[in-house]
């Protein structure tokens, strides 16, 4: 269980204070899939950076029973190292931490999960955008994360490729059950993936919607469409969503 209590982050830019995150209280249950939506600059990436331990909070704290969780991060740009093969990129984070044989086994398993076993010896410039995104996902999965953080990982992809990867991510999550926090601007993607959608504004969580639909989900399903519409209304301020989580 991860608990965020009174979490806040302020930056000082040219003597001016920017409140990126304010007073966030949130409980992430093990194995849950949380999607965060909200307009640009509302603090979504800051929340992920704090969860990843890439930056420290100004106020509040993150509590995790059992020490810091193992974290894997996936960003919009996979930022692969061009001089390394696919396998080299995926295994890079393990070098020096586990034996060579274990790296090889874990890289093979991660590549199989994202369907790229046949491309283990390819170089990044030989990959399509969707394949590069898969490598980015495999690079996070190889760490066997308890907490998987994804910041708009599929935003740069065409709709068809994105839909395929959304399905693959759902399958991987169902098989491995990491706790996932996923940031997106795409409300349909949020409803496809989430157990719960959090709505952020001005550095705060101002609403939440549970997604009680069975998986795999159908975006043309009546309940799906209604929920998508409700979240779009939340985002445009047309309707109030349920109160933030305790
Ligand atoms: N390193 C930083 N230094 C100064 N200000 C920052 C820094 N990182 C974020 N901010 C500010 O904090 C606020 C929240 O930024 P954040 O990147 O978390 O928003 P976001 O919701 O992820 O936006 P987007 O959807 O555009 O990625 C913004 O006003 C941003 O300018």
A 10 A CB-CB count for 110 gives 25
Dihedral sign computed on CA atoms, order 185, 190, 195, 196: positive
Name the residue ranges covered by the structural domains of the chain: 1-70+145-246, 81-144
Runs of H (alpha helix) within 92-220: 100-113, 129-141, 159-176, 187-193
Average pLDDT over residues 12-24: 93
Q: Cα of 19 to ligand 1 centre, how many Å? A: 9
Q: What is the ipTM of this complex?
A: 0.96
Q: Return the ∠ at Cα 24 (arms to 19 and 29), rounded to 5°.
A: 145
Identify the band that residue 66 occupies on the pLDDT scale cut at 50, 70 and 90: confident
The per-residue pLDDT for 142 is 95
Residue nearest to atom 13 of ligand 1 (CA): 20
The per-residue pLDDT for 244 is 56
Identify the band that residue 235 occupies on the pLDDT scale cut at 50, 70 and 90: very high
Q: Cα of 42 to ligand 1 centre, how many Å? A: 7
Q: Cα of 44 to ligand 1 centre, how many Å? A: 8
Ligand 1 atom closest to the Cα of residue 203 is 14
- pLDDT > 80? residue 54: yes
Ligand 1 atom closest to the Cα of residue 185 is 25
Name the 3-class secondary structure at 143: coil
Distance CA 75, CA 71 (A): 13
Tokens read off for 191:
């409803």
- pLDDT > 70? residue 243: no
- Least confident residue range of 24-28, 97-101, 196-200, 240-244: 240-244
A 10 A CB-CB count for 146 gives 19
The per-residue pLDDT for 241 is 53
Residue nearest to atom 28 of ligand 1 (CA): 41
Per-residue pLDDT reduced to its tens digit, 172-194? 999 999 999 999 999 999 999 99
The per-residue pLDDT for 65 is 82
E strand or H helix that includes residue 147: strand 147-151
Q: How many residues does the chain have?
A: 246
Average pLDDT over residues 137-154: 95
E strand or H helix that includes residue 80: none
Per-residue pLDDT reduced to its tens digit, 72-103? 999 888 999 999 999 999 999 999 999 999 99
Residue nearest to atom 11 of ligand 1 (CA): 20
- pLDDT > 90? residue 68: no
CATH number for the region 1-70+145-246 comes to 3.40.50.300
Distance CA 85, CA 89 (A): 6
A 10 A CB-CB count for 127 gives 18
Q: Cα of 28 to ligand 1 centre, how many Å? A: 22
**% the chain with pLDDT above 70:** 96
Distance CA 34, CA 31 (A): 10
Q: Which residue has the higher pLDDT, 83 or 162?
A: 83
The per-residue pLDDT for 245 is 53
- pLDDT > 60? residue 242: no
Ligand 1, CB within 6 Å, residue ranges: 11, 13, 18, 20, 38, 40-46
Per-residue pLDDT reduced to its tens digit, 35-46? 999 999 999 999
Nearest alpha-carbon partner for 169 in 144, 187, 192:
192
A 10 A CB-CB count for 99 gives 9
Residue nearest to atom 1 of ligand 1 (CA): 11
Average pLDDT over residues 126-151: 95
Distance CA 235, CA 230 (A): 9
Ligand 1 atom closest to the Cα of residue 55 is 1
Q: Cα of 45 to ligand 1 centre, how many Å? A: 7
């Amino acid at each position: 269980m991860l608990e965020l209590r009174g979490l806040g982050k302020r930056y000082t830019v040219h003597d001016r204070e920017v409140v990126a995150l304010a007073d966030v209280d949130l409980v992430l249950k093990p194995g849950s899939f949380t999607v965060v939506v909200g307009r640009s600059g509302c603090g979504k990436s800051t929340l992920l950076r704090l969860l990843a331990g890439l930056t420290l909070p100004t106020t509040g704290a993150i509590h995790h029973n059992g020490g810091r969780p193992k974290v894997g991060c996936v960003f919009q740009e996979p930022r692969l190292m061009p001089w390394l093969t696919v396998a080299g990129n995926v295994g890079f984070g393990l070098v020096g931490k586990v034996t060579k044989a274990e790296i090889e086994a874990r890289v093979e398993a991660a590549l199989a999960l994202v369907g790229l076993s046949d491309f283990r010896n390819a170089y990044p410039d030989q990959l399509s955008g969707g394949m590069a995104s898969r490598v980015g996902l495999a690079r996070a999965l190889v760490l066997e994360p308890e907490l998987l953080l994804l910041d708009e990982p599929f935003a740069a992809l065409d709709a068809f490729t994105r839909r395929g990867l959304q399905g693959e991510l759902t399958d991987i999550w169902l098989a491995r059950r990491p706790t996932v926090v996923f940031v997106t601007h795409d409300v349909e993607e949020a409803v496809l993936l989430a157990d719960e959608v959090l709505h952020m504004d001005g550095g705060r969580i101002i609403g939440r919607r549970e997604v009680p639909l069975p998986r795999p989900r159908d975006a043309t399903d009546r309940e799906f469409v209604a929920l998508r519409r409700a979240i779009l209304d939340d985002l445009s301020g047309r309707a109030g969503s349920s109160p933030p989580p305790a």
